[in-house]
Copies of this chain bind each other. A is one copy, B any other.
Amino acid sequence: MEKVYEDSLELHRRHGGKLEVKSKVPLKNRADLSLAYTPGVAEVSRVIGADKKLAYDYTLKKNSVAVISDGSAILGLGNLGAEAALPVMEGKCALFKEFGGIDAFPLCLATQEPEEIIATVKAVAPVFGGINLEDISAPRCFGILARLREELDIPVIHDDQQGTAVVVLAALINSLRVLGREKEKVKVVINGAGAAGIAIGRMLLAYGFMDLILLDSKGVIGARRGDLSKEKFELAARTNLAGISGGLSEAIRGADIFIGVSKPGVLSGEMVRSMNQRPIVLAMANPVPEIMPGEALLAGAAIVGTGRSDFPNQVNNVLVFPGIFRGALDNRVKKITDAMLLAAAENIARSVETPDAEKILPDVFDKKVVAAVAAAIK
């Protein structure tokens, strides 16, 4: 077993998971108890009972986010179920606290039925100031997100969609700046049309990119395909303007930008050489990217990013979600709009003072990023 896996198992076993729930107030004597619990707490309940919005002033709702998964699309591992999702969601909650100062709690659900997921999230919503959906497989994730956004009065994002799309857009903004190109004039290929691929496609269009091609496991997504989900069909009408059919080899020819949210090794050096001059390659399959950075650079790529921390240009959602919810909680935002997300991407890009080919994004440990993203959510 790889050492990182062995060490991670040992860490999880030694601590018995990663999260703990603690009191912020003392409970050492009767006086403490009378304020934190009965009889004093009765007054807090009465006050909130008369105006439930006051839960934002007097309870953990002020600073809490639920990280919710049904375990259907865990990392790159697939559908392993609720219990297997738990260590990932605990880790996500730990990141929320470390990077955003947010009290996040994982809820991994014993159901994968969309209506039951929606009902459960709505039932627990009173406790939370926001909902972060995570690792829910496409296409179910789109309908679940749309319904919850519509029906809840707290902000909801699906991080695999919005988080990924925002950080990719930030990376592209700086990449284009470094190379002196314009978003309206570049051809973009998005390989992978799951939660991330669809959301990236939608967000790039919203930001003003004009020429996109999406591919799923069956090839180029075009209006003539009869097997498309609702989300793919909608994007087919707004992308693939040249009406290309075929696979990645056909789609990639002459493209300026490759965005991979698909599988290890699917982008060859030859394909990169068939792209436009000095292309941008964001190969984000985990843990092994669509093409290794060295090979992409050798084939002429000007800028290469991956999901990994051991190469330059790590494209990582952790730059996004803590700030999104920090801003949403601080400003008591009820819906996170596309305009807020586009502004968040611009703020992330701007927080790199002098971007270059090896630094299109801030470091994940750069503490000013959270504030920059949060400033966009209001």
Mark A residues whose CB is within 8 Å of B: 1-2, 4-9, 11-13, 15-25, 27, 29-30, 33-49, 52, 54-55, 57-64, 74-77, 80-88, 90-95, 97-98, 103-111, 116-117, 119-120, 122-127, 286-287, 307, 309, 364-365
For A116, what are the chain B residues with a Cβ–Cβ distance below 8 Å? Answer: 119, 123
Also in contact, A29 and B85, with CB within 8 A (given A21-B104, A124-B124): no
Q: Is the interface of A mostly helix, strand, loop or mixed?
A: helix
Roughly how many angstroms separate A98 CA and B24 CA in the complex, as a whole number? 11
Roughly how many angstroms separate A80 CA and B51 CA in the complex, as a whole number? 10
Roughly how many angstroms separate A364 CA and B27 CA in the complex, as a whole number? 11
Also in contact, A5 and B63, with CB within 8 A (given A18-B24, A77-B49): no
Cβ 8 A contact of A45, one of B13, B39, B43, B87: B87
Cβ 8 A contact of A49, one of B9, B21, B44, B84: B84
Cβ 8 A contact of A60, one of B19, B58, B122: B19
Also in contact, A11 and B38, with CB within 8 A (given A61-B17, A87-B44): no
Also in contact, A49 and B80, with CB within 8 A (given A25-B15, A35-B8, A60-B16): yes
Assess the B86–A55 pair: CB atoms within 8 A: yes
Q: How many copies does the complex hold?
A: 2
Q: Which residue of B lies closest to A24 (CB)?
A: B15
Roughly how many angstroms separate A94 CA and B28 CA in the complex, as a whole number? 11
Roughly how many angstroms separate A171 CA and B215 CA in the complex, as a whole number? 70
For A6, what are the chain B residues with a Cβ–Cβ distance below 8 Å? Answer: 43
Minimal beta-carbon separation of A167 from chain B (angstroms): 14
Assess the A49–B81 pair: CB atoms within 8 A: yes
Assess the A48–B123 pair: CB atoms within 8 A: no
Roughly how many angstroms separate A75 CA and B46 CA in the complex, as a whole number? 11
